[in-house]
Structure 1
Amino acid sequence: MASMKAIGIRNGKGPAEAMFMDTISRPVPTGNQALVKIKAFGLNRMDLLQREGIYPVPPQAPSTMGVEFSGVIEELADSQSDFKVGDEVFGLAYGGKTASTWITATQALNLIGEFKSGQSVLWHAGASSVSISGIQLSKALGATKIFVTAGSQEKIDFCVNELGATAGFNYNTQDWANGVLEATDGKGVDLIVDFIGANYFASNLTAAARDGRIVELGFMSGGELPAGVNIGPILYKRLRIEGSTLRSRDEGYQERLRNLLVENVLPKFEDGTFKVFITKVLPFDQIVEAHKLLESNQTKGKIICTVS
């Protein structure tokens, strides 16, 4: 049986050093699937969590990590497909490709957050890849104000000066929730996209405007709320809080997102409106270094691994 290289994890989970170059069976596409020869892949926070054994992998996903890929189609199961062998493609897979950030940002902004022109938005982890995409999308869709949180002035300056955010708040030195209220004359923001979870929950309620929406995409600070959190604002502000995943969504939902991306995002890549920011490109066999760099929280954009 044909084989291929993949990243394995000794004992199934562990630190970055537990990863190694493995050899596994080459998959055979079935149904409407395509087999893609990977040229490059991007790292995501979910990769770190899956490596540590604390990410709920969907049942249809293989045990190998990774979801964000680009490459060339080598084989098609369906000869009537709109694609053909040799096509250059990029996108999101259930696993084994180590969520495109633009797809995730589009989902949070349009499908879950129901963002509309003239509204304001707050992107947490402003220099993360998803928020970098989201800031640009928000601006293109007519956001009145775009706020970010980040852990350094350098990252805030990047979000404001390079991406066009209105203002940023350093979560290490500032009360960002009250900062948002001051910057909006006490109104708060219409939409908050959060990856942090427990530690930001109460402050999100403070920073949200009446009839605001809070989209939860991750729990980097954990999922258990600290004692004493006042959930009253959910009621009197009429807030809607919705959690969402992308990787476990069915193919129909992901197709809908892909079509939104093709319609609203790809043209802006072509004309230069949207930019992809890359922190570092590393070869496939330096996956340990790539994971450590992502864990350092020093990045401003994607970490890419290339496959020769």
Structure 2
Amino acid sequence: MDEAFYLILRTGYRVRVEFDKERGTLSGVQALYEDFNLVGGELLVFELTGSHDFHVYVIGVDFAEIEYPSIVHTSQKSRPLKVSLNRGGFKFVQFVTPGSDFTHVLGAPKRFMDRVHLALTLTKPLHFVLSNGKRFDAKFDKTTRTFNGLHVMCECLGLEDLNGYNMLLFTYEEVGNLVISVFDDDFVEICHAGTPLSIVPSLTQPAVHQWFEITVMPFHMNQYCHGVDISAEFKQMWYMWGKTDYINVYSGSGAWKLQVRRRRKWERTTIHDGWIQFRDEMNLDVGDKCIFECPRFSYKHYSVRVVKSG
């Protein structure tokens, strides 16, 4: 973490904060508290964007993501962005308590359900997605407005139950995925080993539905890489992503978030934030070929394998 960076909210609101590495504290967050009328009891979720800034999501006291006021910081001249289901989905949290039975029947806060109920009613099929991109079937009961099928998560992770965790964060995406992020007692996310194509004995082995590849070029190895093009040969993938979006990439126990941007009226799509970290941690060299693969209905979660040059 840098000594100074930006916190970015879904409205496009940006506030600069400073990080004291010795104390582990942030200063400058007070402006966010005041501008968003936080009263205490809310939960702030910090998500690394792939560069050095953080996206921040505000979970209300009812455990559902709040309705953000349409504002930006006073230092900004831009207009607020519209917050919607197709621009990042909506979130809610579920704390793990002794004896809780939500792995069989999972309820969600009213505010969350009011936002996504129509989409859930129309979307078929529906899936849970783990932090490693592994996806399994979910069911939605229209009458009780509850979810079923979360018990399979234990088998995917090789656990008897979820009591070793503190909190689960659920994000409903427009494509019908309910993404699950798991947190420990320090409220730090736990990233599980595996990929979207990992094999679980009781589940059907997933098949590759879409893929794209990138061959590492000399300029991709620069200290400051300003974009890695995805060939127009794989243009069918572009339409699965927003104009500025994020895809999650997995290999073994590693996980990375890469920002993708569409340019020139859909004529070009590039990878930006997150590439340098991914490149360095995967020990890529010029000429290496990275092959990104995903199963059906999982267009933001990819298993990656590398074919080394020579």
| Same structural fold, with TM-score higher than 0.5 when normalized by the shorter chain | no
The TM-score, its normalising length taken from structure 1, stands at 0.30
Q: Hey, which of these two has a bigger chunk of strand by percent?
A: 2
Higher relative contact order (CA 8 A, sep 6+): 1
TM-score relative to the length of structure 2:
0.30
